[in-house]
Amino acid sequence: MPLMTSSEYIESLRKQKKRIFLAGELIDNYVDHPIIRPSINACAMTYELSHQPEYEELLTTTSSLTGKRINRFTHLHQSTDDLVKKVKMQRLLGQRTGCCFQRCVGFDGFNAVDSVTFEMDQELGTEYNKRFREYLKYVQENDLVVDGAMTDTKGNRRLAPSDQEDPDQFVHVVERKKDGIVVRGAKAHQTGAINSHEILVMPTQTMREQDKDYAVSFAVPADAQGILYIYGRQSCDTRRLEEGDVDVGNAMFGGQEALIVFSDVFVPRERVFMCGEYKYSGALVERFAGYHRQSYGGCKSGVGDVLIGAAQAVMKMQGLEKASHIKEKLVEMIHLNETIYSCGIACSAEGKPTTSGTYLIDLMLANICKLNVTRFPYEISRLAQDIAGGLLVTLPSEKDFAHPEAGPLLEKYFRSASSYSTEDRSRIQRLIENLTLGMGAVGYLTESMHGAGSPQAQKIMIGRLANLDYKEQIARELAGVKKGN
């Protein structure tokens, strides 16, 4: 089939029969639920832009598997140009949605699973890569959204998967059948899970031999029997249930997270891509993490662009265009944001092909990118809040502005530069609040900290990849110092 349109994507979700809990209730129509729909709109933007001629080069490409035109989010990277375009595409989508657009995790999962299963097949004589590529052809030809599910709930963090008091704290195989496997467990913090057509599961960490039942990768339809979703709560989310759209800040778009529970889910043999090959679990985790840390150089700089634009807008609305200290803060925000983007581009440009032909980013630079992302968006947000002023957190409700007595008083006392309306000022303030404190902060700040691994995960990888012995050697040679014991 041709590339899906945004409306076709939304309608495709209606055909699935997912079981979803939100705020203690089982949701019948999640597609039109006011809390959930903005996240669907954000994901739909990945389809909408693919049909706009000016964005065709970024949003679409030619499949290396079928030779057909596909959405880039379903592609296996074939060059450093593909890696660079990925980051540029993500920045564009961050700019257009001001939030997480949810297709990156599955995209990164495809590329990690492809190269690792190829190497498994070469070394073990298995057929995992053949299975995976047939699956990916199906995804490409139907232009599907696939949730990449890696993070387990982990229970007691000091204990390995097989040592847990409750074995279900990590997704694992509970039964092996001739035609497939049965799995149990849960995946947490799943970005865009309920907006996906498919779920691609990967192990969450390097496994030992005794943990081989947990070294499993597979794909299932998002509405497969035995799957339950519990929607994650976000700050200020119930504002979407109120009348009006000013207080939401970003009424059209939003992100979403969910806990996915697998209760004895059957996975057909042809959709199993790892099953007990624990020695390869670490490579899969490392490569997926690298790709996803690259992704943050694009999406977070795109959302950062929105926040910087909002800070400039509120500066003008408050009559501060000539204030030098405000201009200086804006420049600092730009510097930090472009540094994030630069790292995303750098790790892409330095990418190299794996044995499968799929290109892998430079892992060191990808980890540097993500470590910067754990810090810089917080400083950008702090500066935006500084420029916005205290009204950011004391602005009365949209309902107060509509009240016959309170409304005129608010219009009078919250009016600033005459060329801007009080409503416009309120909308920009709410957008900044959304991005730095409310619903949008989940996809900008907290996700910047913990998505694709928390800061310590990047530091471990940076220390491992730094080649300190070589650096010491060149320093000793220049200083004329012989190597000691």
Instruction: Give catalytic residue positions.
Output: 100, 104, 191, 257, 292, 296, 299, 447
Q: Torsion over CA of 269, 216, 77 and 143, rounded to 10 degrees?
A: 50
Question: In which residue are the tokens 């297709």 written?
Answer: 103
Neighbours of 454 (CB within 10 A): 12
Going by their DSSP bridges, the two strands 172-177 and 146-149 should be labelled as unpaired
Cβ atoms 248, 181 nearer than 8 A: no
Residue 444 DSSP symbol = I
All residues at 6 or more sequence positions from 104 whose CB lies less than 8 Å from its CB, including other chains: 73, 90, 191, 292, 295, 299
- 3-class state of residue 220 by DSSP: strand
Q: Where would I find the H helices in 4-103?
A: 6-14, 37-48, 56-59, 80-97
Pairwise CA distance, residues 435 & 143, whole Å: 30
All residues at 6 or more sequence positions from 446 whose CB lies less than 8 Å from its CB, including other chains: none
All residues at 6 or more sequence positions from 252 whose CB lies less than 8 Å from its CB, including other chains: 38, 41
Cβ atoms 206, 281 nearer than 8 A: yes
Q: Is the dihedral of CA 403, 421, 323, 334 positive or negative?
A: positive
DSSP E strand stretches across 384-473? none
**146 strand-pairing partners:** 198
Question: In which residue are the tokens 């205290």 written?
Answer: 390
Tell me the helices (H) and strands (E) count for the chain, helix number first. Answer: 18, 14
